[in-house]
Structure 1
Amino acid sequence: MPSDSLRRFGGYLRTRWASPRRIRFWLLALVIAYTLLGFLIVPWLIQYLAVSTAKEDFGRELRIEAVHVNPYTLTLRIDGLALDDTDNRQLLGWQQLFVDLAWSSALNGAWTFQTIRLDRPMIHEERFASGKTRFSRLAPEPSEDAPTEDEASPLPALQVDELRVTEAALRFTDNLPGGVTETDQPKRVSLALEELMLSASDLSLQEGARFPVALEGQLEGGGTLAFDGSLQLLPTAVLAGSARIDELALNQAQPYLRQFANVQLSDGTLNLDGRMQTGAEQPFAFEGSAGIKTLNINDGSNQDPLIGWQSLHTKKLDLNLGERRLETAPISLNGLFGRLIINEDRTTNFSQLMATAPANARAEDDGAARMDDTDDETAPFDITVEGVELTDGTLRFADRSLPLPFSTSIHTLNGQVSTLSSSSAQPAQVALEGQVADYGLTRVDGTIHAWHPMRDTSLKLRFRNLQIPEYSPYTVRFAGRRIAGGTMDLDLDYTVSEQQLDGRNSLVLRDLTLGEKMAVSDAMDLPLDLAIALLKDSNGVIDLDLPVTGDVGSPEFDVGGVVRQALTKTIKSVVQSPFRFLANLVGADSEELGRVEFPPGRSDLLPPQRERVAKLREALTQRPELALELTGPFNHTFDGPILKRGKAIDALRQRLAQADRETGEPNLTAEANQDVVETMFTTHYPEADLAAIRSRFTEEQGDSSEDTGFDALAYRNHLADRIIAAQSITESDLRALANARATAVQQALVDPGADNPIDSNRVRLQDPETIESVDGERIAMEVGLAAD
């Protein structure tokens, strides 16, 4: 009987449940259920769990516009996600997240994604004055009863074929501690990285696996960032590749700088381009080019300029934190500017810049210092700079502590400093040259050890043609007398070895004239009128040697006091032994008179050169047997561009005159001359299409407007540049310029309206001379001497 029941039950299954019709039914039902679950239930469940978890576990509001799941392609799309903090500020969000999970994940035992794409994500982090951040507040508070895990759970196997983040925005707000603003309130700083693009391929969590990564973005405050390289996530993160920073605005760091110094970083941009690497064994390494342009640092109290430059650049910057090493190729520093002021109380403008740190920050620093005392001595940082090239620098100095306020400046400062190394005992070579005031010259040569200047330094400072009346404040303090007239040459030779100073100062005064007396309590009582009468030779020259020695490491050492004592001793010795002094006098040097310099393409004498020619004329009146030979110089590369411009302007003047129009000082870019300039342009470039050229300087004003904007000035500048470039310069033009230069010097020498004019037969013009190369901004004419 039981066997009959089993047979009947088996027959029932075959006819009712195992029939092809029934199998198709259940397969269809399974497909429908899978479809409903994937397309409807799973999206709702994801959105519900995400919103409820954010609310219950984190106390935050999470909003999601839509969740789309395709169970057949295994794709997930989440649109319009936004997570708010407790104060309703958005923490993070995105426009769209798209995830494409590969079916192979079920076979290879790893989460494998063909594509993960995140569009317009936004993350806003903020650090509060307490030190906490918005994201750190999401983490649960540590509990003493919470169990500790011995080992971290292993990460799941993961493979992403393509990861792409587009138009991301990372925003950071920092609430700096109080005491840095006038209201003593926390200062809020906002930084933002926008238009961030991130791409990666073959991303893997397998140990030792590296995959390519590319990133680029721009800072809201100015500057762009880019990276292209590789990333390893396990066992430790390793990032390596090419990195670039373009025009990063440094004033974004101003609030942080004010924490340490009372200065205003008003301008400056950073540029970096090279390769970087960071990892467990290498904290950070970078090798490439670097530069900072248009840096301006002002006094935070009165906005007076302190220091800055037009550009600083090096072709190689090698920074290695692991090896504690910094190396650079020669640094080009253009347009350096510095300003030093000695106040009435003898303090300087730099000594008052350091900001007072808040009490809690000072306490942290003290604690860190005590901890450092217990640590092993940290290896020193090895710094090597392969030289500094300085061009067009300016240093301004003012001393308000003197009876008469004094100020001067050194400008057009150029020169070089050789390799600076903190690990070598070899000092650096220094060679600098600049202009003091209107006609003065300064030069610095020698050696200095940048890290140990008191150990090994040897410098020679040369000052030429300084106007002595400008230095009356120092003579008033020294001897109670103003200086009415005269020039000064000063040679300062200083050698410091193991803090011992051995120096000689050579002072040459020309045509020194004393002024009125002034009552100064600490001035020396010296018979200056008698001393000057003895020291001045028939040419009005005073030549003094002043030795300077002492221990620069001594707190009592004052180089100014030592120089003052030496000068006092010299003057007293001259007054006390006048005939012995007169027996040891030497002549004066006048080698600078043999060079007259001209700017490119010009033959007029600039003020310094007019003064030089005037001094040359004065010297010749005392040497009647000498004649001058003037050979006008020229150089095609140096003079050609300016001559071309002059020819173009002459051509414009001629065309204006032919059209009976006002010539005056014709301007190639003036609007009134545009038609004539266009005619000149088509003459030189007959095949050019002016309409096409105009279109290059025309742009639409808006998407919905048919109006266009024409940049007429840029258009005229373009035509002018092309016209100038079309001019031809001949050998005859250059020789005529050279002759004009020689003639200008000749006329200045024989000018009957000048003091002590020279006879014309003593100034002879020679055939022009071509100069093979010109260094700097001037071409020099070497003056020759001949017997008359």
Structure 2
Amino acid sequence: MTPEPSRSTSAAATTRSPRRGRRWLRRLLIATPIAVALYTVLGFFGVPWLVRAVIVPRIGERLNGSISLERAAFNPFTFRIELERLEVRDDQGERVAALGAFDGNFEAWRSLVQTSWQFQSVQVTKPFLLAAVNADGTLNLARLVKPSKEPATPLREIPRVVIDGMNVDDGEISVRDSSLPEPFGLDFAGLTFDLTNLDTRPGNPNKASLRARTRNGAELEWDGFVESTPFASQGKVVARNVDLAPFMPYGLLYTSGRVVEGRLSFEAEYELAPVAEPPAATATLVSADIVGLKAEHEDQPLLEAPTIHLADAAVDFLARTLSVASYEQAGGSLAVDRDADGTLAFVRILVSPAPRDTGSDAAPQADESVDPRTIQYPVQQFAAALRNLVRDAAGAWTVSIDRAAVSEHQLRLHDRSTPRPVETTVLVKAAEAGPILSTQGYAIPYRATIEPDGGGSVESEGTLALFDRKFDLAVKLVDVDATPYAPYIPEYLEAVRFESARITLDGNLAGSGKEDGTLDGAWKGKATIADVRFDDANTSSPILEVRSLGADGDLGFSLHPDGGRQVEWTGPLSLTELALAAPSATPREANVATIGIEGTAKVDRGADGVARAGWSGSVDVGATEFEATTS
């Protein structure tokens, strides 16, 4: 039998138990405020000190430059962290990145429960970033970080970050490129970025918006969605009043011409999801307007276009399709120059871009595409998808242009390849082309109304197939002054110079090119040439004058690349009031009231410049006067 404890022992135990509880309570009451005080001190003072004295210097050790932070603050109870005046400079002392202030409210409890980085809000003020391409093609940001001694382990997944609200205010981005023929620079200021309910979990679209402006008055807006895993984005971009001239350093890679004025505004929509199934990479230009465009070449005016409007242009990079609903241009002028050796200025201003040195030996890319969905690392997955996109876009494209229209546009012709320079202007009153389809060899159906210098009008309608060297045109000229084009005639008549004429035509002109470069063509229709005059090339005195020359028939021609050509005319010709003067030691003059010719005439000019002519048919000569004077 177990003995029962004594009453005294039981009473002592009962007494010690409340005392022990009270001691623990006293200790807890003493330790709690001490712990709270210690936590408060370490939170308010220790964390900022740790950021400034440990974390920032550690980051600086990884940089080819320096990093500084003026102020850090931390609230251990709300987990709010504040940073002020953070600045990163490269090894040359140039500011590369900075921010005026960072204010973030970290949600510790939510982060623990949901195993993610949770923020109630993030506010960034006055951030700055300098993105510069050096002369050797390398990026300044890539040089800023020292290379790691060991290769970094690829990121297996994007960490989940949740931000209820994020705002970037008064940001600035400076872009520089020194690898171009001329340095390029562009500054974006007043940048604002708003993002609500950011969540980087896979498949979650995050709605965001961006606003920016440049120092010269351009505005940029973006509204859309972004997914982090796999990366995808879609949205709308609006740009207003973008100055085109500062972008010319990139244009100089391809042309020696230069845009000196012009403002661009556009609205576009896009979708980019290269890893999705099916993948997507599309863009739609809802509308684009260029105003006040001016371009020069060698300080001489080349192009002026007061207004250019482009509407409903769509591109699908994966399907390799490009469609343009409408292109319209009103007013302005274009210089069409031809130098002494016959080369058009458009050819001379084109430049073949030289390969750009990237500063590194890039590994050759494999010819075969890699399915990005088989790659487990998200960054490498996205990079592989982009490489596939670029590779696929390099194939043949299907292009369609529904309508292209030009009105009130002046063409200034200056040709120095002729014995006498040709300088004239042509006003394109209205010209419209389309549809232009790659599936039809880019053949251009068109119609145009033109007013040449010196009066008259030209109307034409038909199809130009430039790549196939084919054309089929209906042409109508009414009282067009041929005088400005007189210098083109003397190469066929050495001692005689064409001086003037007025031309009226109504017919059809068709032709096609051969593989050897020969161009065969035919004209069928009516022609009237009035007030024709040929002068002596040396004395400028009249040799032949014809009041009117009429023709109604068929003209066939063949032009060879070696300079040879054949011309054959079949049909009637009529001449009225012909006056002929043949100056020589014994001058002769003849006046013919009318001449009627019916038959076939052939002219064969060889590559050596020697011409052979033949004719068969009938001639009806009206009243004729002949006079010879012997001095």
Deviations 1:27-56 (A, max 9, x none): 211211111111111111112223312332
In the superposition, relative to structure 1, how do residues 497 and 397 fare at CA in structure 2: closer, same or farther (>3 Å)?
Answer: same
Partner of 1:245: 239
Shift of 1:118: 0.7
Q: Residue 201 of structure 2 aligns to a residue in which SS? A: coil
Deviations 1:644-668 (A, max 9, x none): xxxxxxxxxxxxxxxxxxxxxxxxx
Shift of 1:134: 1.6
Partner of 1:289: 287
In the superposition, relative to structure 1, how do residues 461 and 130 fare at CA in structure 2: closer, same or farther (>3 Å)?
Answer: same
Q: Distance in 2 between matches of 1:503 and 1:363?
A: 57
Shift of 1:147: 5.5
Shift of 1:108: 2.1
Q: Is the 8 A contact 1:492 1:503 kept in 2?
A: no
Partner of 2:177: 174
Q: Distance in 1 between matches of 2:53 and 2:70?
A: 12
Residue 115 of structure 1, aligned match among 121, 128, 151: 121
Partner of 1:685: none
Partner of 1:469: 483
Q: Distance in 1 between matches of 2:461 and 2:118?
A: 67
Shift of 1:501: 3.1
Q: Distance in 2 between matches of 1:86 and 1:548?
A: 74
Q: Distance in 2 between matches of 1:202 and 1:363?
A: 41
Q: Is the 8 A contact 1:262 1:355 kept in 2?
A: yes
Partner of 1:303: 299
Q: Distance in 2 between matches of 1:303 and 1:273?
A: 33
TM-score normalised according to structure 2 size: 0.76
Q: Is the 8 A contact 1:209 1:232 kept in 2?
A: yes
Partner of 2:558: 550
1:216 pairs with 2:211: yes
Q: Is the 8 A contact 2:497 2:534 kept in 1?
A: yes
Q: CA RMSD in A?
A: 3.8
Normalized per residue, which structure has more helix?
Answer: 1
1:162 pairs with 2:165: yes
Q: Is the 8 A contact 2:334 2:411 kept in 1?
A: yes
Shift of 1:205: 1.3
Which residues in structure 2 correspond to 1:594-673 (within 5 Å)? none
1:317 pairs with 2:338: no
Partner of 2:509: 494
Q: Is the 8 A contact 1:432 1:444 kept in 2?
A: yes
Q: Residue 460 of structure 1 aligns to a residue in which SS? A: strand
Aligned residues: 539
TM-score normalised according to structure 1 size: 0.62
Partner of 1:679: none
Partner of 1:90: 95
Partner of 1:259: 253
Deviations 1:71-116 (A, max 9, x none): 1121111111111111111111111111011242232222111111
The percentage of counterpart residues that share the same residue type is 17
Q: Is the 8 A contact 1:485 1:511 kept in 2?
A: yes
Shift of 1:571: 11
Q: Is the 8 A contact 1:54 1:60 kept in 2?
A: no
Residue 59 of structure 2, aligned match among 54, 59, 63: 54
Normalized per residue, which structure has more strand?
Answer: 2
In the superposition, relative to structure 1, how do residues 357 and 423 fare at CA in structure 2: closer, same or farther (>3 Å)?
Answer: closer
Q: Is the 8 A contact 2:64 2:143 kept in 1?
A: no
Deviations 1:502-541 (A, max 9, x none): 3217542212234443389xxxxxx963xx55xx4xxx45
Q: Is the 8 A contact 1:290 1:317 kept in 2?
A: no
Shift of 1:8: 11
In the superposition, relative to structure 1, how do residues 309 and 545 fare at CA in structure 2: closer, same or farther (>3 Å)?
Answer: farther
Q: Distance in 1 between matches of 2:85 and 2:332?
A: 51
Partner of 1:27: 32
Partner of 2:132: 126
Code of the aligned partner of 2:331: G
In the superposition, relative to structure 1, how do residues 63 and 473 fare at CA in structure 2: closer, same or farther (>3 Å)?
Answer: same
Code of the aligned partner of 2:502: T
Q: Residue 476 of structure 1 aligns to a residue in which SS? A: coil
In the superposition, relative to structure 1, how do residues 284 and 82 fare at CA in structure 2: closer, same or farther (>3 Å)?
Answer: farther
Shift of 1:9: 12
Which residues in structure 2 correspond to 1:192-211 (within 5 Å)? 192-211=187-206
Q: Distance in 1 between matches of 2:595 and 2:122?
A: 92
Deviations 1:369-416 (A, max 9, x none): 9989xx999531111111112211111112212222111111143121
Q: Distance in 1 between matches of 2:73 and 2:204?
A: 32
1:416 pairs with 2:424: no
Query: Which runs of 5 or more residues in structure 2 are unaligned?
Result: 1-8, 369-390, 581-591, 600-631
Partner of 1:674: none
In the superposition, relative to structure 1, how do residues 23 and 293 fare at CA in structure 2: closer, same or farther (>3 Å)?
Answer: same
Q: Is the 8 A contact 1:245 1:271 kept in 2?
A: yes
Shift of 1:497: 4.6
Deviations 1:442-492 (A, max 9, x none): 222111246x342x4312333332223333322333334345554222457
In the superposition, relative to structure 1, how do residues 501 and 579 fare at CA in structure 2: closer, same or farther (>3 Å)?
Answer: farther
Deviations 1:695-716 (A, max 9, x none): xxxxxxxxxxxxxxxxxxxxxx
Q: Distance in 2 between matches of 1:436 and 1:241?
A: 48
In the superposition, relative to structure 1, how do residues 368 and 338 fare at CA in structure 2: closer, same or farther (>3 Å)?
Answer: farther
In the superposition, relative to structure 1, how do residues 13 and 296 fare at CA in structure 2: closer, same or farther (>3 Å)?
Answer: farther
Code of the aligned partner of 2:104: V
Code of the aligned partner of 2:244: L
Q: Is the 8 A contact 2:285 2:311 kept in 1?
A: no
Q: Residue 255 of structure 1 aligns to a residue in which SS? A: helix
Residue 344 of structure 1, aligned match among 333, 340, 344: 340
Q: Is the 8 A contact 1:405 1:473 kept in 2?
A: yes
Shift of 1:233: 0.9
In the superposition, relative to structure 1, how do residues 541 and 153 fare at CA in structure 2: closer, same or farther (>3 Å)?
Answer: closer
Q: Distance in 2 between matches of 1:363 and 1:516?
A: 66
Deviations 1:546-582 (A, max 9, x none): 623337xx63367xx557x879x9899x99xx99961
Q: Is the 8 A contact 2:69 2:86 kept in 1?
A: yes
In the superposition, relative to structure 1, how do residues 370 and 443 fare at CA in structure 2: closer, same or farther (>3 Å)?
Answer: farther
Residue 441 of structure 1, aligned match among 457, 462, 486: 457
1:329 pairs with 2:325: yes
